Amino acid sequence: MGPLAVTQLLALISLTVALDNGLLKTPPMGWMAWERFRCDIACKDDPKNCISEGLFRDMADRLSEDGWKELGYEYVIIDDCWMSRLRDKQGRLQPEPSRFPGGIAQLAKYIHDRGLKLGIYADMGTHTCMGYPGTTLDKIDIDAQTFASWGVDYLKFDGCSSNAVEQMLGYPLMSKALNATGRPMAYSCSWPVYVGGLPPNVNYTFLGDICHLWRNYYDIQDSWDSVLSIVEWFSNNQDDLQPAAGPGQWNDPDMLIIGNFGLSVDQARSQMALWAIMAAPLIMSNDLRNLDNSARTILQNKMAIAINQDPMGIQGRRLLQEKSHVEVYWRPLSQSASALVFLSRRTDMPYLYHSSLGKLSYDAGNYEAYDVFTGATVTGLNATTEFTFSINPSGVVMWYVYPKKASKQTKMLRKTSKLTWQKTVPRHRIAL
């Protein structure tokens, strides 16, 4: 690429208006089809689970009727494979009519009528990852206008079948095109993952100006190994990634797989806790129609959600990797509070972990901690107090830590969370 082309490219990018439509001041919450339902288009043989308007209506019903919406889970997001293989005569994307006979606008109305929001998928390239029509540079404006006309509230913009130059042009241009529609739409960019996820290939300052959230790393799979690989990559690169996050701009480690087939109950709590610490989007990909009580309890944990949704929007960090294979994660929160997650990377047996707040760089003072997954309160804490608790293999202990003189808001949050605590969750042993 010659100097003139680079100059022209940068000039074009500089014309992009920053995407500041007031959305996603906290990480988005909702449900997405991909990890659980993939590209199942066999509606004749599998009508309940195929990518169709029926599936998304079902999930909207569950979000609106089963207590999810009130907790903040508001987006119903279509992923790949919703499209017809051909654009219409006007060059617009269109849904596959046999699977979306009512059209996307009608589906959006159904979702909006339930107090929810609709997300949709497109791809910066000639084809989507599964071979459906992509959004080439000349189609960006018409696709943004089409989504706005349908009442779409969220766009996931993937990057298969495109090159680095097309991505450098296309992702900012889509931001500009979404702004130009006049309809506020959340914008999820997959750009970083296609160029390695890290500086200098990724300019996170610029990315924060044009996108609300972005995929940094590979797709999550339904396994504990996949969750750990994502957490490890984010933690190893936290000095580059953590400063990029904040209100209206979030790192996205991908979907919550809680309630599927690959995680134990302890591992499911671990994913929820770590995603809360990382200020990650809480986008579930599961079957809300067939969710067991343990998964529901974890995903609807009010304190974990409150930590994730903290208005300061500061992403947490890994503090320690102990020789015992326990890792400690920390996140600062509003009201002088903080969150701690103690993750066991062990595979043998429950482990008795010993530490103190002083060893975790807490200032002198008196504290209390609320155990997010048991409802227990730990009192009598100061920087030198030694505490001991048991952590299950691949499990977590998660604390909401606050100064002894807690605000009324903090006390109310603890009380509300405790009232909704499910007695089926086993208590961790806590000793001082």
What separation in angstroms does the CA of 116 have from each of 112, 191, 285? 5, 27, 16
Residue (of 58, 47, 202, 78) closest to 147 by Cα position: 78
Q: Can you read off the two tokens belonging to residue 104?
A: 């996307």
The DSSP string of 256-283 is B-TTSSS--HHHHHHHHHHHHHTT--EE
The answer to whether residues 293 and 424 touch, using CB atoms and an 8 Å cutoff, is: yes
Q: Is 158 a catalytic residue?
A: yes
> Rounded distance, CA 263 to CA 249, Å?
29
Q: Is 153 a catalytic residue?
A: no
> Rounded distance, CA 232 to CA 416, Å?
33
Judged on CB neighbours under 10 Å (0-12, 13-18, 19+), 43 is: middle
Residue (of 15, 18, 22) closest to 184 by Cα position: 22
Residue (of 350, 367, 357, 355) closest to 426 by Cα position: 350
What separation in angstroms does the CA of 171 have from each of 28, 163, 355? 20, 12, 46
Residue (of 306, 427, 262) closest to 29 by Cα position: 306
Residue (of 108, 71, 16) closest to 309 by Cα position: 71
Which residues, 6+ apart, have CB-to-CB distance to 427 below 8 Å?
A: 374, 375, 376
- Phi, psi of 189, rounded to the nearest 5 degrees: -105, 135
Judged on CB neighbours under 10 Å (0-12, 13-18, 19+), 322 is: middle
Cis ω before 200 (30° cut-off from 0): yes
Residue (of 266, 261, 260, 262) closest to 374 by Cα position: 266
Ranges assigned E (strand) in 305-395: 317-321, 326-332, 338-344, 351-356, 366-371, 377-382, 386-391
Query: Which residue among 66, 141, 209, 219 is the active-site one?
Result: 219
Amino acid 289 reads R
Query: Which residue among 79, 143, 158, 371 is the active-site one?
Result: 158
Give 399's strand partners: 340, 371
Which residues, 6+ apart, have CB-to-CB distance to 325 below 8 Å?
A: 344, 345, 346, 351
Residues belonging to the active site: 158, 219
